[in-house]
Amino acid sequence: MLLVTSDPERGGIVTPEAAAEAKRLLPSLEVVRLTGAGHNIRREQFGAFVAAVRSFLTANYPSARQPQSASART
């Protein structure tokens, strides 16, 4: 499971303490903090958000590495 957090000073909802507690309760949780973003992480740090999600997916779901072409699926 991936938890993407941002800066509480800029409006981020999940504090570093809350993220640490979530990680304690769920050790397999991957926490990524994107600085320079507030509540709307995807708009404020779109590239970094996509990179974090892509990195998580390729590390944890190998089939997500290479999308199949339409002809390969049929």
Helix (H, G, I), strand (E, B) or coil at 7: coil
> How wide is the angle at C-alpha 42 spanned by C-alphas 36 and 43, nearest 5°?
75
Domain that holds residue 44: 2-61
In a domain, 15, yes or no: yes
**Is residue 30 classed exposed, middle or buried when 0-12, 13-18 and 19+ CB atoms within 10 A define those classes?**
middle
In a domain, 71, yes or no: no
Which H/E stretch holds residue 33? strand 30-33
The pTM assigned to this predicted structure is 0.78
Query: Sign of the C-alpha dihedral, residues 43, 49, 54, 56?
Result: negative
In a domain, 36, yes or no: yes
The model's pLDDT over 6-52, given as tens digits with 9 standing for 90+, comes to 999 999 999 999 999 999 999 999 999 999 999 999 999 999 999 99
Helix (H, G, I), strand (E, B) or coil at 3: strand
The model's pLDDT over 4-17, given as tens digits with 9 standing for 90+, comes to 999 999 999 999 99
Q: How many domains does the chain fold into? A: 1
In a domain, 28, yes or no: yes
